[in-house]
A and B are shown apart, each in its own frame.
Chain A
Amino acid sequence: MIKAEQKPIDEILKYLNPYNKILLSGCGACVTVCHAGGEKEVELLASGLRMARQKIGKKIEVLEITPARQCEPEFALEMSETIEKVEAVLSISCGVGVQTLVRHFQKIPIFPGVNTSFLGETITHGVWEERCQACGNCVLEKTGGICPISRCAKQLLNGPCGGSSKGKCEIKKEADCAWQLIYDRLKTLNQLYRMEEIIPAKRWGVESRDSGLRRIIREDLKV
């Protein structure tokens, strides 16, 4: 799922400075799971903003809403009536959700309240880690199901660099070396022969993330 972290409140206060009535919108999907932009965080942040503004004698009215999925038009449009009552929207959904609102509510400023960080999984309570960069042509079948694009700092496709030491990456000592994980996994699966294969240069430019705006069209689902 998409992982995000709330922006520092001072940064948020800075761009909300000109406004006295806003809508704070969370999202019931990914950002709820990573505790960055769910209903609970909307409530907490709203109180924080009210208190901060009261302290400087410049009260702000904050309306709250948390649609089930802010990135889906039908849920975003549920906000239509409320949005008309405010001067700006602060969205603590991911960057996708922010842009869904922008597309549907063109006359009102919409600000992000979180930094969208990565596509990742929950490791344990309070710890999330990157697992996918949505590169567009998955190589997991070649690498024992462990992604070197998201988990190797150099996106290497043919084994670890010289900086792999005792299972860790030299760039971030707390991070496992992706290629050590791949090696260990292939060893367990009795597929070490895969480490001998040369994986050719990736097609970043045609099939992948550097090909410009990506779009999926399913004719069978169109109405």
Chain B
Amino acid sequence: MKAGSNLEKVLEKGLFAVTGELGPPEGNDVSVVKRKADLLRGYVDAVNVTDNQTAIVRMSSLAASALVVQMGLEPIMHMVTRDRNRIAIQSDIFGATALGIKNMLCMSGVHHTFGNQVDAKNVHDLDSIQLIDCVRTLRDQGTLLGGDEKIEGKVDLLIGAVMNPFADPFEFQAVRLAKKIRAGADFIQTYPIYDMERFKEWMKMVRDRGLDKKVYILVTLCPLGSEEMIHCMEKDFPRTAVPDEIVNRIVKSENSAIEGVKLCVDQIREIREIEGIHGIHLINMGWTEITRQIIEMGGLFPRPKI
């Protein structure tokens, strides 16, 4: 056990993991965190707590993750390198683990010019791979990045990374995953997947390199319940293409919300048949209420108690 988190235990037992998403409020309203936590409790093995996602200023992922721990769920704290240098990163990791956070997701973060503080000075002292390496160094060597200085205490974190199978150059994306694994990633979560064919091609490259045996792969799914949500997806995740076939299925349906749920459940079935997948990460773009229903319909409820 690297971190002893619930997520790690589920994955280590070879069970199909389910993670959810909790976007902190655009302010300090704790009731927002509570409402979302209440909707997800018992339905997910761990919940991602985003870090100023899409570069919109929100309650910090560290604080929201600590609240999530108090509320009886297990957080996966996101950390982006956009806003912190290596001093702040390591300091926040000490603080987070002291507050009971056991999983962390490492990424560079959406560029700040997409958000609501476009005049900010960005940081990018480390990139996502260097951040993964930094966390691994803290955990496994017990030293700070780039030094022999021993830290006081232990950083027990399960290290997560993100992969976008739709980014270019396509043939590099398996190499990039291999680098993230070598740097120390224990699990990855993908970008939202709609184009299953391209995703399957990517998974084949991943399996050909034996990477699915070295890292747990969680596929991100996001139900689309209306035409508006499709536009939001295209805006928030410009890197994720929603194929026309899916757009038509949702938009032309008599009840887009029901169709969106059905589609997501179909995707879960399809994903489970792909070799090398260890779980799903169900995000919701604010439609948190629907998560339980999808998890139930997808045959993923109840969640294992370990």
Contacts and interface: CB of A to CB of B under 8 A. Distances in A.
Q: Do A and B come from one complex?
A: yes
Interface stretch (A37-45, A76-84, A196-204): A196-204
A170 B239 contact: yes
B238 A170 contact: yes
Interface in B146-180: 146, 162-164, 166-169, 172, 175-176, 178-179
A159 B176 contact: yes
Given A159-B172, A162-B166, A163-B111, 15 more contacts: A154-B111, A158-B127, A161-B128, A162-B163, A163-B167, A165-B168, A180-B168, A180-B169, A183-B172, A195-B175, A200-B146, A201-B86, A201-B126, A201-B133, A202-B125
A155 B122 CA distance: 10
A184 B169 CA distance: 9
B182 interface: yes
A79 B163 CA distance: 59
A198 B168 CA distance: 19
A156 B167 contact: no
Interface string B226-238: 0000000000001
A34 interface: no
A160 B166 CA distance: 12
A183 B173 CA distance: 12
B177 to A, nearest CB: 10
A159 B167 CA distance: 11
B108 interface: yes
Interface string B45-76: 00000000000000000000000000000000
Contact of A162 (B130, B134, B175, B191): B191
B183 interface: yes
Q: Ordered nearest first, which 6 A-B pairs have the shortest CB separation?
A: A162-B164, A158-B129, A156-B127, A201-B130, A162-B167, A154-B124
A171 interface: yes
Contacts of A136: none
A159 B168 CA distance: 10
Contacts of B255: none
Nearest to A203: B146
B295 to A, nearest CB: 26
Contacts of A166: 168
Contacts of B133: 198, 200-201
20 contacts: A153-B111, A154-B81, A154-B127, A155-B127, A156-B108, A156-B124, A157-B129, A158-B176, A159-B172, A160-B169, A160-B176, A163-B110, A163-B238, A164-B168, A166-B168, A196-B178, A200-B130, A201-B86, A202-B125, A204-B125
Contact of B82 (A154, A160, A163, A201): A154
Contacts of A160: 167-169, 172, 176
B246 interface: no
Most chain B CB inside 10 Å of its own CB: which residue of A159, A184, A202? A159
A196 B111 contact: no
B117 interface: no
A177 interface: yes
A165 B125 contact: no
Contact of B167 (A158, A165, A184, A204): A165
Most chain A CB inside 10 Å of its own CB: which residue of B81, B128, B168? B168
Say what secondary structure dominates the interface of chain A: loop
B145 interface: yes
A167 interface: yes
B113 interface: yes
A32 B233 CA distance: 47
A161 B130 contact: no
B130 A196 contact: no
B190 to A, nearest CB: 10
B110 to A, nearest CB: 8
A180 B173 CA distance: 12
Given A163-B167, A165-B168, A171-B113, A198 B122 contact: no
B242 to A, nearest CB: 14
B168 to A, nearest CB: 5
Contacts of A201: 86, 125-126, 130, 133-134, 145-146
A177 B146 CA distance: 29
Contacts of B82: 154
Given A180-B168, A195-B172, A196-B175, A163 B239 contact: yes
A165 B130 contact: no
A212 to B, nearest CB: 16
Nearest to A187: B169
Contacts of B169: 160, 164, 180, 183-184
A154 B86 CA distance: 15
Nearest to A155: B124
Given A154-B108, A163-B239, A198 B167 contact: no
Contacts of A184: 169
A178 to B, nearest CB: 12
